[in-house]
Amino acid sequence: MSAPAVSVVLPAYNREASIAAAIQSVLRQSWRDFELIVVDDGSTDATLARARAMSDPRLRVIASPRNAGPSAARNRGLAEARGDWIAFQDSDDEWLPEKLERQMRRLRDRGMGDIAAYCGMLISSAPGQEAAARLAPRYVPGPELARVEGDLSEALLARSLISTQTLMARRAVLTRIGGFDTTLSALEDWDCALRLSDHGSFAFVDAPLVIQTFSANSLTRELQLWAAARRRILDKHEARFARHPEQMAQQWRTLAGALRRLGQRDAAREAIARAIGARPGDPALRGLSVLLRLQRLSQGQSQRA
């Protein structure tokens, strides 16, 4: 059997309610030359059984003996893949039918010289319920920057442009960079894109071809994971950010805001100090530093009263 052009990797953990829809959204793609590798990450519900119950010659289901996290599951799928291109889907999200076809078309239009392609995304509050018919601002920052393609090495320092479900990348390059960082509990897509950007250019399809399911469950916990991951990425890619002080300061300031919302004021002050270190002359950063010190003094006086 000849290898498919694209291998789609779909990690799943305890998604019995949504796994069938996620798989079907891949199987109904207009681009037919692909395989779908579902990696069940040690689910304790009926996710594995429901994935195995679906019959299609392009579908392979792999069961992991224990839960190791989505990055490890994606890396397992990458190791099993046979296609030259790897696309990723999540177990509670859906692709529109032309997702793969339009990404491959864009790569061909650009001469097949890119190492990856991505696209826009819609936000949904529940499977099948579209919440916003627009590109997700978390990944594509407004229509004025919607066509970010080519060399993304600097643009990715300002924000995460690429969600995993929108990414398709060359298997050889993903393998070369070691796949996804399994030590990250969030923002692993941003870290992966940063490392991919060292190896070539990106194509972009200016259309929302993925529907992401947004869950409001445990937002505080999500923010904690997000803040810890952002700190880890800033430390991991310190040399990269140091070459671009404005972006470095912006990221530390963003982290400080998250830490303040979590009530971690000492850590927030440290983050502001790191931002000031990157851009010592920024008056806005110095103003934030003064505000945090005043809040600390006020808090101390309240505790003594």
Burial grade of 47 (CB within 10 A; 0-12, 13-18, 19 or more) = buried
Same domain, 114 and 17: yes
Instruction: Tell me which residue range forms the domain holding 85.
Output: 6-213
Band (289; pLDDT cuts 50, 70, 90): low
Q: Which among 172, 191, 213 is the end of a domain?
A: 213
Quickly list H helices, the chain.
19-27, 47-52, 70-80, 99-109, 155-158, 171-176, 188-196, 219-236, 238-242, 245-261, 265-278, 283-304
Averaged pLDDT, 127-155: 58
Q: What is the pLDDT of residues 231-260, one digit of tens each?
A: 999 999 999 999 999 999 999 999 999 999
Closest by CA to 115, choosing from 175, 179, 173, 161, is 173
> Above 70 in pLDDT, residue 118?
yes
- pLDDT for 144 equals 47
- pLDDT for 148 equals 82
Averaged pLDDT, 88-93: 94
Query: Taking the chain, what is the end-to-end CA distance rounded to the nearest angstrom?
Result: 77
Is 85 within a domain? yes
Q: What is the pLDDT of residues 213-231, one digit of tens each?
A: 776 555 677 899 999 999 9
Q: Count Cβ neighbours within 10 Å for each residue of 70-90 and write b for 16 or more, e otherwise.
A: bbbbbbbbbeebebebbbbbb
Look at the chain and report how many structural domains it folds into.
2
> Above 50 in pLDDT, residue 11?
yes
Same domain, 170 and 257: no
Three-state SS for 83?
A: coil
Q: What is the percent of the chain with per-residue pLDDT over 90, rounded to a whole number?
A: 71
What would the two tokens of residue 60 be?
């392979």
- Which residues on neighbouring strands pair with residue 208, listed in sequence order? 120
Half-sphere exposure at residue 82, Cβ-oriented, CA atoms within 13 angstroms: 12
Average pLDDT, the chain: 87
